[in-house]
């Protein structure tokens, strides 16, 4: 049984619209995260099919669609909101932490903007798979509790697809776009209440809007550095997809980079490369600037002074991120610390080489076989080996297994026609990312040459 305690709805009236999810006609659990349910004190949840599909509203739940705005590919949309999601409510875990429980793909809301609010089973299983991979990699993320087939057909460009709902657990769904929504409307009372609520929920030892901003900068810088360390490309780093909790949220056209190329883009709609792999730290700062704009009145009563404070903080983001990035790279290289020039020399040497294997196999026999041109990497290796790296420590932070794009697609295609075996096998592999390659070679190698260029879609 889930004991709901819905503080967001209770403390922030006017920031959501109450709305029940669509009723699924024939719900059936596709996958249930029993280990996460146990960790959160939720038990086996025999009601999962009904509760997580919209067929029944759990006792104590108060379904609502949350309001937010956002910059999408740089253009501001003053009203977005949960167009295909319903917050069922919040519950407390065994450690007292508060969690949101949200349904995704659960039908139309007042924010749907003409969409049907539904989701197909493939994109929902993608979020389940990638979010579980991120969790196993130790990267802050929303988690997937279940995917439930609805028994409906969802119509997309590809034709009719089996519908499904994802049950998502998050520290909260407060986004940069949530702040933008109320700032754009001049609703200072709601903005102040949202600031106080976010501080109390996520940063209880911090006070004031400036303290909140600094805390969010620190968490987001660490998060993006961790993404970069595993070659993760989010694909849609819009401001409505940046959570103030510091969790990765909204796995749409995301993927993991294989051959290292700074300009890697997977999203079909990112034609300009705005959210390319190497641009993610830049977008971090851009999105945080948008958050700072919403908080200006609370930085200082004098507008000029508030802008000065904000600019000073924004100017410091690059250094905060750089420190986090170098810490990630030092760990990956088995060293206590590294200099940027040393890292840049490595990055130059591994251009075009599989990112994951370039770090996982570093220090192993046969490493140079990964390279067509061994000159640059050989020179770098001599310097690295002289620093006496900790190879055992490296094995604990450099994964052998990531969700390889060709395996993800094969698993989702099979699941769409009812065969869950490839998905189940891939899920088990990504949940043990640091285990040995031996016996799991099929999950550790890049896509075959014939796989071609990988393109992902938003899944709406």
What's CA 281's distance to the chain center, in Å?
15
In the chain, what are the domain boundaries?
7-170, 327-353+363-395
pLDDT, residue 457, reads: 78
Q: Which of 435, 449, 365 is nearest to 401 (CA)?
A: 435
Residue ranges of the chain with per-residue pLDDT less than 50: 460
Cα separation, 268 vs 402, whole angstroms: 21
pLDDT, residue 459, reads: 56
> Does this model's pTM top 0.75?
yes
User: How long a stretch of residues is the chain?
Assistant: 460
pLDDT, residue 158, reads: 79
Exposure string of 63-82, with b = 16+ CB inside 10 Å and e = fewer, is: bbbbbbbbbbeeeebeebbb
CA distances from residue 449 to 259, 406, 445, 446, 454 in whole angstroms, order as listed: 12, 11, 11, 9, 12
Exposure string of 134-149, with b = 16+ CB inside 10 Å and e = fewer, is: bbbbebbbbbbbbbbb
pLDDT, residue 460, reads: 44
Compute the chain's Rg from CA coordinates.
22
pLDDT, residue 113, reads: 85
Catalytic residue numbers read 240
Q: What does the pLDDT look like over 22-45, one tens digit per residue?
A: 999 999 999 999 999 999 999 999
pLDDT, residue 150, reads: 98
- 10 Å CB burial of residue 121 (0-12, 13-18, 19+) is buried
Q: Which of 220, 175, 184 is nearest to 76 (CA)?
A: 184
The strand pairing partners of 101, in sequence order, are: 89, 169
């Amino acid at each position: 049984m889930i004991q709901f305690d819905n503080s967001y709805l209770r403390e922030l009236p006017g920031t959501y619209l109450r709305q029940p999810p669509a009723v699924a006609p024939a719900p059936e659990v596709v996958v249930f995260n029993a280990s996460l349910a146990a960790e959160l004190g939720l038990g086996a949840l025999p009601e999962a099919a009904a509760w997580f599909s919209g067929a029944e509203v759990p006792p104590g739940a108060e379904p609502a669609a949350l309001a937010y705005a956002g910059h999408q590919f740089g253009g501001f949309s003053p009203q977005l909101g949960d167009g295909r999601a319903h917050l069922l409510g919040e519950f407390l875990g065994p450690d007292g932490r508060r969690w949101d429980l949200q349904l995704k793909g659960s039908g139309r809301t007042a924010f749907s903007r003409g969409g049907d609010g539904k989701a197909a089973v493939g994109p929902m299983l993608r979020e389940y798979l990638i979010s579980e991979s991120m969790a196993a990699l130790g990267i802050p993320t929303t988690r997937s509790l279940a995917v439930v087939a609805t028994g409906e057909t969802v119509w997309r460009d590809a034709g009719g697809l089996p519908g499904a709902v994802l049950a998502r657990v998050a520290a909260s769904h407060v986004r940069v776009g949530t702040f933008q929504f109320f700032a754009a409307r001049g609703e200072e009372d709601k903005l102040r209440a949202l600031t106080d609520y976010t501080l109390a929920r996520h940063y209880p030892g911090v006070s004031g809007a400036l303290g909140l901003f600094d805390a969010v900068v620190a968490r987001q810088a660490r998060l993006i550095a961790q993404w970069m360390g595993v070659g993760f490309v989010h694909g849609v780093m819009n401001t409505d997809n940046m959570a103030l909790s510091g969790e990765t949220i909204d796995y749409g056209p995301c993927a993991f980079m294989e051959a290292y190329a700074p300009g890697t883009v997977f999203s079909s709609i990112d034609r300009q490369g705005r959210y390319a792999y190497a641009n993610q730290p830049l977008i971090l700062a851009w999105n945080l600037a948008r958050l700072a704009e919403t908080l200006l009145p609370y930085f200082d009563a004098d507008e000029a002074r508030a802008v000065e404070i904000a600019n000073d903080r924004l100017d410091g983001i690059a250094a905060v991120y750089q420190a986090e990035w170098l810490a990630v790279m030092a760990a990956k290289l088995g060293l206590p610390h590294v200099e940027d020039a040393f890292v840049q020399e490595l990055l130059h040497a591994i251009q075009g080489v599989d990112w994951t294997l370039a770090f996982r196999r570093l220090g192993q026999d046969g490493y140079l076989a990964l390279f067509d041109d061994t000159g640059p990497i050989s020179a770098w290796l001599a310097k690295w080996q002289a620093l006496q790296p900790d190879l055992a420590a490296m094995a604990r932070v450099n994964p052998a297994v990531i969700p390889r794009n060709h395996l993800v697609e094969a698993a989702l295609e099979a699941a769409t026609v009812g065969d869950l075996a490839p998905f189940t096998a891939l899920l088990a592999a990504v949940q043990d990312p640091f285990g040995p390659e031996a016996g799991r070679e099929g999950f550790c190698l890049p896509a075959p040459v014939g796989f071609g260029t990988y393109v992902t879609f938003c899944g709406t």
